[in-house]
Structure 1
Amino acid sequence: MSEKEHKQALAEAAQSPKLHKTVVMVGMMGAGKTAVGRALAQRLGVPFLDSDHEIETAANMSIPEIFERHGEAFFREKERMVIRRLLEEERGVLSTGGGAFLAEENRRNISNFGVAVCLQADLEVLWNRVRHRDTRPLLRTADPFATLRDLYEKRVPLYQQADVSVVSDGSSTIEDMVDRVLEALRARPDVLEWK
């Protein structure tokens, strides 16, 4: 990093709001939790945490491999443990897997240690984002669209319990989405202190 870039980063950090609680990105697969979460963390000058990445690192295998070898129940237990640890250890922006917010214990831990920000995207937007990827073990079915639709219908009511919701319409840039999240969090001084 050049001296000019370093000075610019310091100036941006000085203008950034102070984070009091971890911002936890929740929502369906393909909603943009990781991309928006990473950009939000950078904008706030805080660590970016990814529960799926942490699980893969601890297990020394990919999420699809974990599902294949040990099943979804095993994965969900590891996910619960990792999310709790990340919430307790470090304040930042945490991206979670699509199913993480379904577990009552995860919702309670997120409520106790952070704020849940749900990225809401409609089914067509999600399908356009995930249909060409083979990294979604829950979509490895005979009819992946029908599976995604079923997951969407079951999960949306639980996602509505998030503290904050932001629409991910499929046409906005990541930076636009970060702006939307920050704007939604302006009403939460317990999460972000604006200077």
Structure 2
Amino acid sequence: MLNLKNKNIVFIGFMGVGKGTISRALIQRTKRFGLDTDDLIESMENRKIKAIFETDGEAYFRKLEKKTAKWLEKNVKNAVISTGGGFFKVDNLDAIGTIVYLRSSFDGILKRLKEHENADLKLAKRPLLSDEDKARTLFEERSSLYEVKADITINVENRSVDAIVQDLITLLHLKEKKEKE
């Protein structure tokens, strides 16, 4: 069974890349507990992310992410954690767990979201995607930053969830083996 010294597995990547989907599949395979930082923030605030952005703005939301990150570091072990697209900027990300960057092109992400059976819902819950040009610029700014933060990078574009999870488990086992040496 995957141990990684009881470390959490933390998914980062651009909004809509599939962090929640891959996270849920990995949870099923590893029997770990799963958390989603956006869900934690919505519970803490008792309102949706879109409402937080509309009412209090992005800066306030980023403060909530930092608060969530501190809580995760202090209180959560051996979990799979799916994060929001900007969560990678928190100061203590390394202390939370092994960081896995799910990489895809911007067009691949848009295609994935638009082909989803709940496409309207998937797009509506991502306020920063409402302006495609701004979102593309944000994607370009963040792509290399995700790479730098990641312990493991895995390409997810045009790949099945099962194939991604299998590759991920292999890479996590290799990382664990390397850490023991």
Aligned residues of 1:117 and 1:165 also touching (Cα < 8 A): yes
Q: Alignment partner of 2:175: what SS?
A: coil
Aligned twin of 1:17? 2
Question: TM-score normalised to the size of structure 2?
Answer: 0.87
Aligned twin of 2:112? 129
1-structure distance, mates of 2:47, 2:172: 35
Question: TM-score normalised to the size of structure 1?
Answer: 0.81
Aligned twin of 1:53? 39
What RMSD in Å do the two structures reach over aligned CA positions?
Answer: 1.9
User: Does 2:93 correspond to 1:114?
Assistant: no
| Partner deviation per Cα, 1:22-55 (whole Å, 9 max, x = no partner) | 0000001111111101111221111101000000
Q: Which among 162, 165, 177 is matched to residue 178 of structure 1?
A: 165
2-structure distance, mates of 1:113, 1:136: 24
Q: Alignment partner of 1:187: what SS?
A: helix
Aligned residues of 1:26 and 1:33 also touching (Cα < 8 A): yes
Mean CA deviation greater in 35-44 or 159-168? 35-44
Q: Percent identity?
A: 33
2-structure distance, mates of 1:192, 1:96: 24
Aligned residues of 1:22 and 1:87 also touching (Cα < 8 A): no
Aligned twin of 2:84? 97
Q: Which among 72, 82, 86 is matched to residue 68 of structure 2?
A: 82
1-structure distance, mates of 2:174, 2:11: 17
Q: Alignment partner of 2:165: what SS?
A: helix
Cα distance change of structure 1 residues 191 and 47 upon mapping to structure 2, 3 Å threshold: farther
Moved over 4 A (4+): 190-193
Unaligned runs of 5+ in 1: 1-15
| Partner deviation per Cα, 1:143-183 (whole Å, 9 max, x = no partner) | x2x1221011100111011111000112x221211112112
Aligned twin of 1:5? none
Kindly state the Cα deviation for residue 191 of structure 1 after the two structures are TM-superposed: 9.5
Q: Alignment partner of 1:124: what SS?
A: helix
Which of the two has greater helix per residue? 2
Cα distance change of structure 1 residues 41 and 191 upon mapping to structure 2, 3 Å threshold: farther
Corresponding letter in the other structure for 1:127: L
Corresponding letter in the other structure for 2:156: S
Kindly state the Cα deviation for residue 78 of structure 1 after the two structures are TM-superposed: 0.4
Cα distance change of structure 1 residues 127 and 192 upon mapping to structure 2, 3 Å threshold: farther
User: Does 2:151 correspond to 1:163?
Assistant: yes
1-structure distance, mates of 2:69, 2:113: 24
Cα distance change of structure 1 residues 191 and 68 upon mapping to structure 2, 3 Å threshold: farther
Aligned residues of 2:12 and 2:146 also touching (Cα < 8 A): yes
